[in-house]
Every structure is written in structure tokens, then in C-alpha cells.
Amino acid sequence: MDSRFAGMTKEVFIKGGSAVRDRYGTNMKLNGISDNPGSSKARIRVGRGIGSGKGKQAGRGGKGQTARSGVRIKGFEGGQMPLHRRLPKRGFLPPSPRDLNEVNLGRIQTAVDAGKLDATKPVTVEALVEAGVCARARDGVKILGKGEITAKLNFEVFGASKGAVAAIEKAGGAVKVLASEAAQA
């Protein structure tokens, strides 16, 4: 250590070599750092004798399932009909749902303006992945109508919302929806 810092042991230093000071201008030391009083509570040590107030059964009541470790009756409300049984069953999950990329028109227009998407070629999932609009192909792409599109583009996508189709056709483009072709086959 440098002679400048002789006698300044156990102090916190920054790269410049000067001692770190707290807001009162005194030197901060590692052994002097403490949290605000009352900011943390000491945990209750259970099962450590009668005098502690949490001895014998350690706040778990009498015997039975809830006194043991590792068991809890999930959703049990003391005999009252539990919430997950009071509410009606609703809806269903399709056995093989499609994982589609949802892309807004504004995002596609941004890619066209940046030169990442070629307006002369048809816009497919592969073209969108190559342009960086989608991270990966998944099961296809669905075009949504948020944002504006000015480029004349031809889309070959799995699906498109009514608003998106209207906006694309207004800009002079066309949409070929592959989902309807798959349903007819």
C-alpha cells in the first residue's frame, strides 16, 4: 500500500485512491456499515423451550395433518365449499393449439422502410423471420391491423384480421390466407 494511505486501514476505497465518505463527511468503514434500525426483524426460533413462548408444539396447534411437515390441504376452506368448486367450469383448451406469430401492420411497414423486407416478393413467415420481424417461424403468422401500411405488399400468411385485410387492400396489396385453404382441403 502507498505511504499516503498509512494508518487508513479497513477503509473502503474507490479507483482514484481517495477514501469514501458518507453524507456527513466522515470516513466510511466496513465495520461501521449497518442497516436502518427496525428494518429487519429477527426470525422467531420455534421449538426452543417453554420460556420462549413458542416451545412444545411451536405454534402448530395439536396433532394431525397440519402439525406435520410437508403437508397442507390445498384449497381447503374449513369445510366451506372451496372457491375452485364454487365457480362454474367454463371454456376448454384445444388439444393441439396453433402457436402463431402475431405481427402488426406498423411493424411490417417499419421493416419495409428500413429495407429489411423486400416489397416485390410475397410476405411469408420465412421472409418475416429473415427480416427480423419474427424470432422464429412457429406454426405460421397472423397479421393484425394496428398501425398503418403504405407499401403495396402481397401476403401469404396463415391468418389475418378483417381490419388488417382491409388496410392491406386499401394500400393496393393482397392477402392469401392459408388457414382457409387448409380448412377446405
Tens-place pLDDT, residues 121-132: 999 999 999 999
pLDDT confidence bin for 10, thresholds 50/70/90: very low
- Domain edges within the chain: 1-34, 101-184
Instruction: Show the DSSP H helices in the chain as ranges.
Output: 83-86, 105-113, 125-131, 162-170, 178-184
In whole angstroms, what is the distance from residue 116 CA to residue 124 CA? 13
Strand-pairing partners, residue 13, are 19
- Percent of the chain clearing pLDDT 90 (strictly above): 62
Task: Please state, as a whole number, how many other Cβ atoms lie within 10 Å of the Cβ of residue 47.
Answer: 12
91 pLDDT tier (thresholds 50, 70, 90): very high
What's the angle, vertex CA 54, arms to CA 52 and CA 55, rounded to 5? 85
List pLDDT tens digits, range 47-89: 999 999 999 999 998 898 888 888 778 888 889 999 999 999 9
pTM, full prediction: 0.53
Write the burial class of residue 137 (CB in 10 Å: 0-12 exposed, 13-18 middle, 19+ buried): middle
Residue range 101-184, CATH number: 3.100.10.10
